Amino acid sequence: MNRSDQTGMSDRDRMSDALSSQKYITTLYNAGANECEHMNYKSDVLGILNEEHQIEQEIFDDMKKRGWYEITEASPEKLDKARQKYLKK
User: What counts of helices (H) and strands (E) characterise the chain?
Assistant: 3, 0
Domain count, the chain: 1
Between CA 51 and CA 29 the distance in angstroms is 11
Residue 46 domain flag: yes
Determine the pLDDT at residue 75: 92
Residue 2 domain flag: no
Residue 5 domain flag: no
Q: Is the dihedral of CA 31, 34, 37, 39 positive or negative?
A: positive
Between CA 31 and CA 36 the distance in angstroms is 9
pLDDT at 1 over 90: no
Determine the pLDDT at residue 89: 63
Q: What is the pLDDT of residues 37-88, one digit of tens each?
A: 999 999 999 999 999 999 999 999 999 999 999 888 889 999 999 899 888 7
Q: What is the pLDDT of residues 3-50, one digit of tens each?
A: 666 778 999 999 999 999 999 999 999 999 999 999 999 999 999 999
Domain range for 50 is 11-87
Residue 49 domain flag: yes
Residue 76 domain flag: yes
